[in-house]
């Protein structure tokens, strides 16, 4: 089911799953609401457990411990956290606990709501073609109405008649490593399509700077450029 603020909650007896807004009380008060859209989880997806209850502080463990048995949190979530922290705070930090706290202030969804693998699977492709699955993530996005949507190479997967970001011309990134990707600016939202955060073909610093550059361009120009308003209805 999808709750009133856009979180998808699985009620299956064998697979408990929830994605969406990490902490609604924090998210609703953010001036810039960020949504990350990834492909599928590689194991049990439970970031609320990792960061929301602050168990990493109580147990004195590293928030992005790459040796964590649940999977390499560092490769995926540390770049995500660094981008979000910089957007939300307009500054950087090297403190991992501060970075982890930024993840509580955003929303994260997977297009496929069950576990997959390290490569695009046939199950993923089949799942996206099912109308009911498309309706789930479309409903989630429209309920959240984020200001910044960051896609881990998933942007073309969410394009529908209801979420048609191609109403505006894509803007290429200055990064040579990400020259094939674009971002799309509306008055009220920017769609940023970058590589998956665990991609190793681009250096982490360049990856972070590329995403933040797109956000800053949108933020600095949204009030003066003749961009259309994205219709969330």
User: b/e per residue, 71-82, with b = 16+ CB within 10 A?
Assistant: bebbbbbbbbbb
- Tracing tokens 């989880």 back to the chain, one arrives at 41
Q: Give the number of other CB atoms < 10 A from CB of residue 109.
A: 23
Q: Between the CA of residue 224 and those of 147, 149, 230, what are the distances in Å?
A: 17, 21, 16
Closest-CA residue to 101 (of 63, 75, 65, 70): 63
Q: What band does 71 get if pLDDT is binned at 50, 70 and 90?
A: very low
Average pLDDT over every residue of 157-162: 85
Going along the chain from its start, the domains and CATH numbers come out as: 8-221 (3.40.470)
Q: What band does 52 get if pLDDT is binned at 50, 70 and 90?
A: very low
Q: What band does 92 get if pLDDT is binned at 50, 70 and 90?
A: very high
| Of 49-53, 85-89, 156-160, 162-166, the least confident | 49-53
Helices assigned H by DSSP within 46-160: 47, 55-58, 73-89, 96-103, 122-129, 131-144, 155-158
Helices assigned H by DSSP within the chain: 24-27, 47, 55-58, 73-89, 96-103, 122-129, 131-144, 155-158, 204-221
Phi, psi of 194 (to 5 degrees): -115, 175
Stated length of the chain: 233
Start-to-end Cα distance in the chain: 20
Cβ 74 vs Cβ 190: under 8 Å:
no
Tens digits of residue pLDDT in 113-148 = 876 554 555 555 565 556 667 888 999 999 999 999
User: What is the structure's pLDDT at 24?
Assistant: 92
| Of 37-41, 131-135, 179-183, the least confident | 131-135
Give the global pTM: 0.87
Residue 51, pLDDT > 60, answer: no
């Amino acid at each position: 089911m999808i709750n009133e603020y856009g979180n998808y909650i699985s009620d299956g007896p064998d697979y408990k799953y929830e994605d969406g807004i990490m902490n609604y009380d924090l998210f609703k008060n953010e001036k810039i609401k960020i949504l990350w859209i990834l492909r599928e989880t590689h194991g049990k997806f439970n970031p609320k457990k990792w960061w929301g209850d602050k168990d990493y502080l109580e147990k004195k463990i590293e928030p992005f411990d790459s040796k964590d048995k649940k999977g390499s949190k560092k490769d995926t979530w540390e770049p995500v956290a660094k981008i979000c922290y910089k957007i939300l705070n307009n500054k950087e930090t090297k403190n991992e606990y501060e970075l982890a706290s930024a993840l509580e202030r955003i929303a994260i969804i997977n297009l496929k709501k069950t576990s997959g693998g390290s490569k695009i699977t046939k199950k993923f492709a089949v799942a996206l073609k099912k109308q009911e699955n498309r309706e789930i993530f479309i409903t989630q996005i429209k309920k959240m109405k984020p200001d910044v949507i960051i896609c881990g190479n998933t942007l073309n997967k969410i394009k529908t008649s209801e979420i048609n970001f191609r109403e505006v011309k894509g803007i290429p990134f200055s990064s040579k490593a990400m020259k094939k990707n674009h971002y799309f600016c509306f008055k009220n939202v920017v769609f940023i399509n970058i590589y998956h955060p665990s991609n190793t073909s681009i250096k982490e610093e360049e990856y972070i700077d590329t995403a933040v550059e797109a956000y800053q361009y949108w933020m600095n120009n949204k009030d003066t450029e003749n961009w259309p308003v994205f219709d969330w209805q």
